[in-house]
Amino acid sequence: MTRNARRFGGAPMAAALLIAAFVLVHTSHAAPLNLATVSCAKYENEVLASTVPGYTADPIDTVMWLFGFSIAKSGERAMYGDSLTAFGFALDTECKNNPATTLLEAVTTVKSKRDNPMDLTRLDCATFETRHVGLRKSDPESANTLTMWLFGYSVGLSGSHILDPDGLAKFDAALEERCIKNPEDSVFDALSAERVPSRAVPKQNASSTAASKAAGPKAAGP
């Protein structure tokens, strides 16, 4: 028996602890960000610094999601593959100049340079899926980051303003399913809230919206 095994009560105890740790890791959920209650100061000092309790998304993925969300809110139907840095710096400046404003306000008002647009209404699902599957195999990290942009864009279209990293896999699966079933559709069609019933962010119905207004503002999220 090793020294570590004695310390933890022998091999059975050590194995039990390892199993417990595995279960805790794989059943934990990342805390979502409510853009309407997160201030620019919190975004600058905690979100980008990865110190928000429970929020585990990579800062670059967070900015990608916010970029996609911002583009959707602007009414544009294009992806700007070379403009993430410009958007990130523009949002950073906006938040430093207005620390008390909400992240939602900052993201929906900030203006940044747009380079090399890819029209989402002209990119068909079949072409997109072929490229995306290839990217998943060759560069999973980049594929994940790209999906975060699409996720943010889709949430922006849906009318929600919640960034929930745990919804990424479900969103990706729903988008893939939609594109496989409707390869002739454009990626914009697939991302639209009305066109993807199995998407990760369900569209609010009138009754739930009315109930939310009647209940008044909710407590601030992370």
Per domain, the residue ranges of the chain are: 30-200
Q: How confident is the model at residue 27 (pLDDT cuts 50, 70, 90)?
A: very low
Whether the predicted pLDDT of 148 surpasses 50: yes
Amino acid at site 87: F
What local confidence, expressed as pLDDT, does residue 51 receive? 94
Write the DSSP assignment of 119-180 as a string of letters: ETTTSBHHHHHHHHHHHHHH-HHHHHHHHHHHHHHHHHHHT--EE-GGGHHHHHHHHHHHHH
Rounded to the nearest integer, the mean pLDDT of the chain is: 80
Question: Residue 85 and residue 173: Cα distance in Å, rounded?
Answer: 28
b/e map of 175-200 (b: 16 or more CB within 10 Å)? bbebbeebeebbbbbbbbbeebeebb
Question: Residue 68 and residue 153: Cα distance in Å, rounded?
Answer: 4
The better pLDDT of the pair 24, 97 is held by: 97
Residues in the chain: 222
Q: Which helix (H) or strand (E) holds 57?
A: none
What local confidence, expressed as pLDDT, does residue 193 receive? 55
Q: What own/partner pairs with CB < 8 Å and gap ≥ 24 does 210-214 have?
A: none
Q: For residue 172, give the nearest of 195, 196, 205 by alpha carbon.
A: 196
What local confidence, expressed as pLDDT, does residue 115 receive? 86
Highest mean pLDDT, choosing among 17-31, 98-112, 184-198? 98-112
Which of 52-61, 90-99, 129-138, 188-197 has the weakest average pLDDT?
188-197
pLDDT digits (tens, 9 = 90+) for 181-200: 999 999 999 998 544 433 44
Q: How confident is the model at residue 81 (pLDDT cuts 50, 70, 90)?
A: confident
Question: Residue 200 and residue 168: Cα distance in Å, rounded?
Answer: 8
User: What's this model's pTM, rounded to 2 decimal places?
Assistant: 0.75
